[in-house]
Amino acid sequence: MLTLYSYPELFGVADNNGYGLKVYAFLKLARVPFVHEHVFDASAAPRGQLPYIVDDGETIGDSETIIAHVIAKYRLTIDAALSAEQRRTNLFVTRMLDDLYWVMSYSRWKDERYVQAFCDAFMAQHPKVDADGLEKAKAYNAQRYYYQGIGRYTPEQAYARGIADLEVLAEIVPAQGFVHGAAPTSVDAGVYGFLANIHFFPIPTPLKAFVDAHDNLVAHCERIHAAVS
């Protein structure tokens, strides 16, 4: 049995991190049986990052590597009908979501307008995690942001970057159906992983204001949410 290790759930979303939720949604959409184990401390994970899977004794990290492994091993057809152009679009969207990740994370751990609301909600749902643990996570993330670069942005500059990513998604995601047609593919799991971690969180960041103002993004998010919940 495949086991997925990822961050804890929050606000009714199965993982409060976009990458873990992406893998979770992919496994659900592809109907791959798995056990879901929630982890807060990622120090034991491959490269110290979540999510990762253990599949028949093999440990695999990185969301894209996980998805490629599962498609190959279980001979999944979820992306089989995609054209070369659609596969290029998937790569572009995946890399753009990597950029959006930093802005979404910044809104939770760096922007003082929202940090406390996020931490309070986390402790309320996960009482085993205390304020000291979250302070350590905040300090760790501050270091990451500094070296990645976004930690040296003003909030306005950081959100402008994230909004630019969301504007592109708003042009790609259709009002009905899924990114490449009537059936979801792996890219829809990726889009959901990040949109759900914005849309379902009742923390009024500029990212949430943008997503909630675009009916097509909300509808896509809620379609996938219903399919994987």
Q: Give the model confidence (pLDDT) of 181-226 as tens digits.
A: 999 999 999 999 999 999 999 999 999 999 999 999 999 999 999 9
Q: What is the pLDDT of residue 5?
A: 97
User: Listing from the earlier edge strand, what are the strands of the sheet with 34-38?
Assistant: 34-38, 2-6, 52-55, 58-61
Per-residue pLDDT at 180? 97
**CB burial string 102-138: b at 16+ within 10 A, e below:** bbbbbbbbbbeebbeebbebbeeebeebeeebbeebe
- Res 42 pLDDT > 90: no
Residue predicted with more confidence, 9 or 45? 9
Q: Does the pLDDT of residue 124 top 90, yes or no?
A: yes
Q: What are phi and psi of 129, to 5 degrees?
A: -95, 120
3-state secondary structure of 6: strand
- Reported confidence tier of residue 113, pLDDT bands at 50, 70, 90: very high
pLDDT per position as a tens digit, 134-151: 999 999 999 999 999 999
Taking the whole predicted model, whether its pTM rises above 0.85 is answered as yes
Report residue 37: phi and psi, to 5°. Answer: -110, 130
Is residue 133 predicted with pLDDT exceeding 90?
A: no
Beta bridge partners, 13, equal 10
Average pLDDT, the chain: 96
- pLDDT greater than 90 at residue 120: yes
54-91 pLDDT per residue, tens: 999 999 999 999 999 999 999 999 999 999 999 999 99
Cis check: omega of the bond before 51, within 30 degrees of 0: yes
Band of pLDDT at residue 8, cut at 50, 70 and 90: very high
Average pLDDT over residues 105-116: 96
* Residue 102, amino acid: W
Tokens standing for residue 152: 């040296």
Pairing, β 34-38 against β 58-61: unpaired
